Amino acid sequence: MKSARNQLILLGFLAQGLSWDEYFLPLINALLWVGCLLWRRRPIRFGPVTESVILAAGCAAGYLLAAGMGRSTHFFIGHGLVLMQAVRLLRPLDRREKVFSILIACFHLGVGCTLAPDFRFMAVLLAAMILVPKSLLDLERKAFAGGVPVFKLRSVMGAFAGVSGITILVFLAFPRIFVGAPIQLRAGTSDQGTLLDSVLDPARSGYAQSDRTLLQIEGERLGPLRCYALADFNGLQWSAEKRTTLRRIQYVSPEQLTGHPYRRVRAKQVGFLGRILPTDGPVVALSGRFFRRPLQNAHGAIECEAMWNTANNLYEYWTDPKPRFDRLTRAQAQFYTYHPPQSERLQNWLAGVLAGVTNSLEQARRLEARLQTNFKYQLGGPELQRLNPIDDFIFNQKQGHCERFAASLALLLRMEGVPSRIVIGYLPVNRNRYSGWYNIRFKDAHAWTEGYFPEVGWVQFDATPGGAVEAGGWNLRDLLDTLDFAWYSHVVNFDGSAQKQLVISSLRSLEQSAAWARRESPWLLAVVLAALSAWVWQQRQNRDKVHITRSRPKTAVQAAHYYGQMLRALARQGFHRASPQTPLEFLSDLQGRALPHLSEVRFITEVFCSTRYGHHPLSAMEEAEIEKALERIRKGSATGAT
Amino acid sequence: MIFVFTKTGRVFLAVSVLMYLASLTSQSGLLLFLISILAGCYLVNFGWAWRNVRQVELQTPDSVHISEGQRAAQPWRLTNGSRHWAGLIQVESPDGVLGSVAALAPLGAVSFLPDLVYWKRGVYSYTRISLGSIYPFGFIKAVRLMKLPGEVVVYPAVYHAQPPRAAGYDVMVGGKFKGNRRTMSGSIFAGVRPMQAGDPLKQIHWKSSAKGQGLMVKTFEEELSGRVSFIMDCGQAGDAKILDDCVRATGSLIFAALDEGHHVEWIDLKQLHLRLIPPFADGHEILDELARIEEARGCLQESALRQAVEKVSNKSAVQFVLTDFNAAAREVTLQLKSQNRAVTLYLPETCEAVEDLGGVPVFTYSECGLVERV
């Protein structure tokens, strides 16, 4: 387990496990790794054919299981390789196999990298930054020294520091080319119901409570972000207009944008946008690089002709703080007020609620308040009656998710002759305390109602009780979100424009530093001179130390010391070395006599000769071996004496 | 200084390129981080290997003379001139790795015995020795050609051989062959005879002279040594192995002849330069020249053979040690035989059977021995 290569293999296992899910398979893979290493008391060799079969079986199992369980099948080869690596953990490998195992580990890490996991993956990458070079170093040094590590860690610390520094530099400076992959849209305006239902109704999908972040928005006083409007009501179901007019955005020149609310949005899940750019007001300027030809529809939402993934899916827009509204034509008014005749009970209930109120706007407010206070917000409530859903909701169930409240209010407004529509979008409720950005998650999806009043235009009403909105946030979570944002924007999606920005800011910092240095030049000069003097002094000190070291190599002295101890121990046993005898002559002389521990004596003599005369450094392992051998010789001496 | 990617380096480079291609379509830039780690390893490897090779010096012994199948016995020394650790250093020659050192302490030195076994005779110059380092990650190898003075001269491995037939015996003190006559000097005492006019006084055998029969002088057995000429072909067969076998056979025969106390003359058909070797000569010079013989095709021609035969002594027995046997060799052999010269043929064992050459003995040589072809 201490081997850097094995640790790198574990990292690969974890990274490959992420292709399945965040916890289950990484944990299984980690347990497999531990099991294989603990099992390896005796090498288990399966042979190349069996290993190939295991690889193929792993690939097939990975593919079939992934396909059967609705997971990604792209990485099935990686699962097979995990099994093969695990099998090879059960036996010692030759050099070629070790290189191959490092390659496979890199492949697994590559799989993890392509998945763009969250900032926790940083720990894996940092570990890889140490373990990849260390595995390679171990591989080479063992090949050179016959399996004996001969370097002290201190001697290669510089290499690791160098690799780390260069890694960061190369990562920052490496030319980024992103060909891009066209995204398969989950939904567009044509099939928006699918997306909306999947987001809003938990009975159909799990996104309603999902914490996954969809958008991150920078801006002040952010309003609800609108995506779609459902204005066509057939008596049972609300849907988008079949034919809606799209018009160009009325752009305002950059000079006139001062004072307009500015928003910068980062879309993390472009596939879920459905060619719609969520905005929180009438847009007067819009820019971005992951969509083409944005147009504004009749309900104020921004629809694009096409969208694709880029490294950073950013767009920015400015809204109009004092928007004008277009008056509805007679036909539009008829369209927005259309509703089939409703039940008498509902009409009576509506009349009762609005008793005494004549102003349309006030009537709408009263209805909004009535629904908010007397009804209950609940996700995943039972289905409404198909024939008369609103009656069922108002009189029987009195609970549901936001879409039911929005639909009910819109119908009630239409019954009162107020043009209305349902708007689907997101509520920006979570603002990160550290970054200041709003995090829009899937669970922030919301539906509300808009009513049209000739004197004020379209007015928003949110009849949903307060349960839909989760105010505030947890500090740690904000911190993690900030980390996540920094991770994705500065690491995962670090692109050409970010590189350019980095260069510009670096140059600016350099200019500022130069200006500061010019200002503080006397002090700076003094500090530099002091540092230079200290460096020169240290160099001289080091040179003296080196002289001492060169004149008396430490290891040679140490070897002579051990050899002397051995001679003394042998002398106590009656084996005296004659002064003209060389160590090897003395050894050959001893070979002819009955000396216990002759192998220890031979070992110490050979190490002494190679260190003293061959100038081979004495390794720590050899020192330990010598001390053990000396101990055995001394014990033999003591036995002989008694 | 040369930098080359090692096999591991090439494999990881290919993996990096694949990762980069994958990153073009991947939304994640993390693959570039992985590539950056490998790039960091490459750059650090490049810098450290370069520093290692630049700072480490190699001290070699002067020219070394060894025989085929041996390794140099003198230690070589590597010295690290820098204040940093050096490691994964290999001392290489085009013929193989001479030695490798895993780690070398700052300003330290280490001696090692070259691991390379020289299996083939020849001259291995130190100018082709290089110092390489793949420190620390084994991706890039920095190589510096050392251009050191000196060389390893690998002598052909001579083996025990029956001494070749000699001719033209001359009197020579120490000669292994006994003549019929008595001489005044020699190493084998034969007896005494009465002193005659002209006999040197120092030859008087005083002990027998004291017996009263007049002055007696010592006589010795006549010692003779023959003359053997070797004419060697330098690779007519065009096979380096046969040439090496031929050189080994020539060396072995020369030493066998010298041990017998013969005068040896030898000449190779490429240079046609006659070397005279007195009996009981040291032989190092012969081995040195044999080690340096280079292959030369097409030298087994009649003109070259005749020139060689003219250069050697007329009285000597001629030994043709050839790598091939062609019409020219046959012609010259038969001609010498017709002149009653003692001729012997030494051919490679792979050579086809030679037709009857009128009683000229034919031997075949292999890698490690001589066999007479019947």
Backbone angles phi, psi at B369, to 5 degrees: 180, 170
Beta-ladder partners of A377: A400
Whether residue A208 is predicted with pLDDT greater than 60 in this model: the reply is: no
**Using CA atoms, how far apart are residues B361 and B346, in angstroms rounded to an integer?**
9
pLDDT given at position A190: 41
- Contacts with B284 (C-beta within 8 Å, 6 or more apart), sequence order: B65
pLDDT given at position B6: 93
Residues of A in contact with B84 (CB under 8 A): 155, 158
> Which of A18-22, A208-212, A614-618, B195-199 tops mean pLDDT?
B195-199
Which of B223, B222, B207, B166 lies closest to B344 in space, CA to CA?
B166
Over B216-232, what HEC string results? Answer: EEEEEEEEEEEEEEEEE
Whether residue A469 is predicted with pLDDT greater than 50 in this model: the reply is: no
Cα-Cα-Cα-Cα dihedral sign, residues B163, B168, B173, B177: positive
Pick the range with the lowest mean pLDDT from A192-196, A483-487, B26-30.
Answer: A192-196
By the 8 A CB rule, do A445 and A208 touch? yes
How many angstroms separate the CA of residue A400 from the nearest CA in chain B? 38
Residues of B in contact with A136 (CB under 8 A): 8, 41, 136-139
Tens-place pLDDT, residues A224-246 = 888 888 888 887 788 887 777 78
Grouping H, G, I as helix, E, B as strand and the rest as coil, residue A472 is coil
pLDDT given at position A146: 55
Residues of B in contact with A151 (CB under 8 A): 85, 87, 102-103
- Contacts with B265 (C-beta within 8 Å, 6 or more apart), sequence order: B227, B228, B229, B230, B274, B275, B276, B277, B312, B313, B316
Residues of B in contact with A309 (CB under 8 A): 27
Residues of B in contact with A615 (CB under 8 A): 77, 108-111
How many angstroms separate the CA of residue B65 from the nearest CA in chain A? 22
Q: What is the DSSP letter of B264?
A: E
Nearest to B100 among A144, A165, A174 (CB): A144
CB pair distance less than 8 Å for B41 and A163: yes
Model confidence at A468, pLDDT cuts 50, 70, 90, reads very low
pLDDT given at position A107: 92
Helix (H) or strand (E) holding A484, with range, is helix A475-487
CB pair distance less than 8 Å for B139 and A174: no
Model confidence at A196, pLDDT cuts 50, 70, 90, reads low
Helix (H) or strand (E) holding A321, with range, is none
Over A594-607, what HEC string results? Answer: CCCCHHHHHHHHHH
pLDDT given at position B45: 93
How many angstroms separate the CA of residue A206 from the nearest CA in chain B? 25
Model confidence at A165, pLDDT cuts 50, 70, 90, reads very high
Beta-ladder partners of A423: A229, A448
pLDDT given at position B268: 92
Nearest residue on chain B to A539, alpha-carbon basis? B83
Q: Which structure tokens are listed for A505?
A: 């800011």
Total Cβ atoms within 10 A of residue A114: 22
Model confidence at A612, pLDDT cuts 50, 70, 90, reads confident
How many angstroms separate the CA of residue B75 from the nearest CA in chain A? 8
Model confidence at A471, pLDDT cuts 50, 70, 90, reads very low
- Mean pLDDT to the nearest integer, A318-343: 85
- Per the omega criterion (within 30 degrees of 0), is the bond before B114 cis? no
pLDDT given at position B154: 94
Which of A243, A547, A378 lies closest to B106 in space, CA to CA?
A547
By the 8 A CB rule, do B316 and B230 touch? no
**Using CA atoms, how far apart are residues A137 and A538, in angstroms rounded to an integer?**
31
- Residue with structure tokens 């040589």? B365
**Using CA atoms, how far apart are residues A189 and A458, in angstroms rounded to an integer?**
21
**Using CA atoms, how far apart are residues A232 and A242, in angstroms rounded to an integer?**
8
**Using CA atoms, how far apart are residues B374 and B354, in angstroms rounded to an integer?**
10
Tens-place pLDDT, residues A544-564 = 665 555 545 567 778 888 899
Residues of A in contact with B15 (CB under 8 A): 103, 106-107
Residue of A325 and A475 predicted with greater confidence: A325
Inter-residue long-range contacts of B173-178, CB under 8 Å, 24+ positions, other chains counted = B173/B223, B174/B223, B174/B225, B174/B261, B174/B279, B174/B280, B175/B223, B175/B224, B175/B225, B175/B261, B175/B279, B176/B223, B176/B225, B176/B260, B176/B261, B177/B223, B177/B224, B177/B225, B177/B226, B177/B261, B178/B221, B178/B222, B178/B223, B178/B224
Nearest residue on chain A to B8, alpha-carbon basis? A99
CB pair distance less than 8 Å for A617 and B105: yes
Nearest residue on chain A to B134, alpha-carbon basis? A140
How many angstroms separate the CA of residue B153 from the nearest CA in chain A? 24
- Mean pLDDT to the nearest integer, A405-418: 89
CB pair distance less than 8 Å for A113 and B34: yes
The pairing of strands B343-348 and B362-365 is parallel
Whether residue A191 is predicted with pLDDT greater than 50 in this model: the reply is: no
Residues of B in contact with A110 (CB under 8 A): 19, 22, 31, 34
CA A336, chain centre distance (Å): 46
Residues of A in contact with B48 (CB under 8 A): 159, 162
By the 8 A CB rule, do A468 and A427 touch? yes
Nearest residue on chain A to B6, alpha-carbon basis? A140
**Using CA atoms, how far apart are residues A441 and A624, in angstroms rounded to an integer?**
61
Residues of A in contact with B107 (CB under 8 A): 546, 549-550
Q: What is the DSSP letter of B204?
A: B
- Contacts with A563 (C-beta within 8 Å, 6 or more apart), sequence order: A583, A604, A605, A608, A612
CB pair distance less than 8 Å for A140 and B136: yes
By the 8 A CB rule, do B289 and B254 touch? no
Pick the range with the lowest mean pLDDT from A40-44, A341-345, B282-286.
Answer: A40-44
**Using CA atoms, how far apart are residues B74 and A36, in angstroms rounded to an integer?**
48
How many angstroms separate the CA of residue A483 from the nearest CA in chain B? 16
pLDDT given at position B250: 94
CB pair distance less than 8 Å for B27 and A309: yes
Which residue of A135, A164, A166, A541 to mutate against B (max B Cβ within 10 Å)?
A166
Which of A76, A212, A281 lies closest to A484 in space, CA to CA?
A212
Whether residue A77 is predicted with pLDDT greater than 50 in this model: the reply is: yes
CB pair distance less than 8 Å for A150 and B105: no
- Mean pLDDT to the nearest integer, A314-325: 84
CB pair distance less than 8 Å for A150 and B103: yes
- Mean pLDDT to the nearest integer, A349-364: 87
How many angstroms separate the CA of residue B36 from the nearest CA in chain A? 5
- DSSP codes, B175-190: -SEEEEEEESS-SSEE
Which residue of A109, A144, A535, A555 to mutate against B (max B Cβ within 10 Å)?
A144
Residues of B in contact with A170 (CB under 8 A): 35-36, 39-40, 43
Nearest residue on chain B to A553, alpha-carbon basis? B108
How many angstroms separate the CA of residue B198 from the nearest CA in chain A? 58
Q: How many beta-carbon pairs under 8 angstroms link A with B?
A: 179
Q: Which structure tokens are listed for B191?
A: 């007896």
**Using CA atoms, how far apart are residues B347 and B322, in angstroms rounded to an integer?**
5
CB pair distance less than 8 Å for B29 and A494: yes
Residue of A348 and A558 predicted with greater confidence: A348
Q: Which structure tokens are listed for A546?
A: 């080196």
Which residue of A75, A107, A125, A137 to mutate against B (max B Cβ within 10 Å)?
A137
- DSSP codes, A519-544: HTHHHHHHHHHHHHHHHHHHHHHHHH
CB pair distance less than 8 Å for A140 and B138: yes
**Using CA atoms, how far apart are residues A556 and A614, in angstroms rounded to an integer?**
10
Model confidence at A296, pLDDT cuts 50, 70, 90, reads confident
Backbone angles phi, psi at A440, to 5 degrees: -100, 115
- Contacts with B276 (C-beta within 8 Å, 6 or more apart), sequence order: B263, B264, B265
Ranges assigned E (strand) in A442-550: 445-453, 457-461
**Using CA atoms, how far apart are residues A383 and B89, in angstroms rounded to an integer?**
77
By the 8 A CB rule, do B354 and B325 touch? yes
How many angstroms separate the CA of residue B135 from the nearest CA in chain A? 8
Nearest residue on chain B to A170, alpha-carbon basis? B36
CA A465-A468-A471 angle, 5° bins: 110
Helix (H) or strand (E) holding A277, with range, is strand A276-277
Positions in chain B whose pLDDT score sits under 70: 27, 374
